[in-house]
Amino acid sequence: VKENGKNDYLLHSGDMDHVALHKLTIQHEMRRALLNQEFALFYQPQYDLASGQIVGMEALIRWFHPERGLVPPGDFIPAAEESGIIVPLGDWVIEEACRQNKEWQNQGMPFIPVSVNLSMRQFSQRNLTGKVSDILEQTGLDPRYLELEITESMTMDVDRASQCLKELTDLGVNISIDDFGTGYSSFHYLKNLPIARLKIDRSFVRDIQQDPNDAAIVAAIIAMAHNLQLQVIAEGVETEDQVHFLRSHRCDEMQGYFGSPPLPSDGVLALLREKLNR
Ligand code: C2E
Ligand code: CA
Ligand code: CA
Ligand code: CA
């Protein structure tokens, strides 16, 4: 262990070897993957609970690794965030989602907004609004068809978040709070941030039928959202019973395997065509 610093230390210290090496490997591989276009976006439809219509779709990144096959985001997003690669990767996601959405519109498909997940690192960039604005201009997508999903932890610094969100909403983009209920919820920011909707985390929806506490929490979130004039969507909806519960509590929308799993772009196109022919 000498002046060479951290990496050298890590590479020569038993158990840490694997962790450090794995991180370096995955960082290197993600850079290569971005150049080689190994990433793709899948889209999960969001349904209006009253009409059953598709009213949105969430873009979810997938990595088709040449040797390891399909790598789920949970296996690389944390490393991408830690290393900072999430910034170029996240830019690519926004661009690809906007490009694809505009292409479907150009093909005469129904106009359905797309939601993109933002990481903390992206959210704290100074020029995020500029980037989003450039992407919208380049792709020609009307901002109202782009929604950005942030999590509660990103709004901890309410003043900064508020400034950033105001710039984004001034562009015409919508903001939603993802995984609602799992982070630091404060009525203060719900009241003060320019948010269009809440996404109730899957962990509350899962046991809605069995656990009266979860049922009470979900019912309360829906009622609160509506009192604040926010739209509310339930995540991870898997059963018809859950749909009945959500509908009877006037939840606006749902997303989950019950409606559809995330689909590759040709699968979405087929759904949009179907919608067109109905
Ligand atoms: P998330 O934003 O909460 O996305 C929802 C996750 O729940 C997705 O997992 C989706 O496939 C899964 N899911 C949807 N319906 C159901 C259901 O009925 N039951 C269950 N058990 N799961 C369901 P996925 O695609 O593996 O993504 C995991 C997480 O990775 C996402 O959670 C998000 O935090 C992150 N992620 C995905 N794509 C991106 C991206 O482009 N950028 C960033 N920063 N993060 C991303
Ligand atoms: Ca999300
Ligand atoms: Ca979520
Ligand atoms: Ca999540």
Ligand 1 atom at shortest distance from the alpha carbon of 86: 44
Instruction: Quote the ligand 2 centre to 268 CA distance (angstroms).
Output: 18
Structure letter (DSSP) for residue 263: B
Amino acid at 246: L
Quote the CA–CA distance of 124 and 86 in Å, as a whole number.
12
pLDDT of residue 267: 97
Structure tokens belonging to residue 266: 């040709």
CA separation, residue 24 to residues 17, 20, 80, 182, 257 (Å): 11, 6, 11, 30, 35
Quote the CA–CA distance of 31 and 164 in Å, as a whole number.
28
DSSP string, 201-241: -HHHHTTTTT-HHHHHHHHHHHHHHHHTT-EEEE-S--SHH
> pLDDT tens-digit profile of 100-154?
999 999 999 999 999 999 999 999 998 999 999 999 999 999 999 999 999 988 8
For residue 14, what are the contacts with CB-CB under 8 A and spacing of at least 6?
none
Average pLDDT, the chain: 91
Q: Which residues pair with 215 in a beta bridge?
A: none
At CA 25, angle to CA 21 and CA 27, rounded to 5?
A: 120
Structure tokens belonging to residue 156: 């901890």
Ligand 1 atom at shortest distance from the alpha carbon of 118: 44
Longest CA–CA span in the chain (Å) reads 70
* CB 151, CB 183: distance < 8 Å: yes
Structure letter (DSSP) for residue 13: S
Mutate to test the pocket of ligand 1, among 39, 47, 60, 253 (most ligand atoms within 8 A of CB): 60
Q: Atom 30 in ligand 1: which residue has the minimum CA distance?
A: 73
Q: Which of 28-32, 184-188, 262-266 has the lowest mean pLDDT?
A: 184-188
Instruction: Quote the ligand 1 centre to 117 CA distance (angstroms).
Output: 9
Strand runs labelled E in 3-130: 39-48, 54-65, 69-71, 114-117
pTM of the model: 0.93
Name the 3-class secondary structure at 111.
Answer: coil
Q: Atom 23 in ligand 1: which residue has the minimum CA distance?
A: 236
pLDDT of 2 over the 50 cut: no
Which residues surround ligand 1 with Cβ inside 6 Å? Answer: 44, 60-61, 72-74, 77, 90, 93, 117, 119, 178-179, 202, 236-238, 256-257, 262
pLDDT of residue 87: 95
β-bridge pairing 231-234 and 197-200:
parallel
Instruction: Quote the ligand 3 centre to 147 CA distance (angstroms).
Output: 14
Helix 86-106 to helix 265-277 angle (10° resolution) is 30
Q: Which residues pair with 61 in a beta bridge?
A: 41
Proximal ligand: closest to the CA of 118: 1
pLDDT of residue 1: 35
Proximal ligand: closest to the CA of 122: 1
Quote the CA–CA distance of 175 and 123 in Å, as a whole number.
12
Instruction: Quote the ligand 4 centre to 215 CA distance (angstroms).
Output: 19
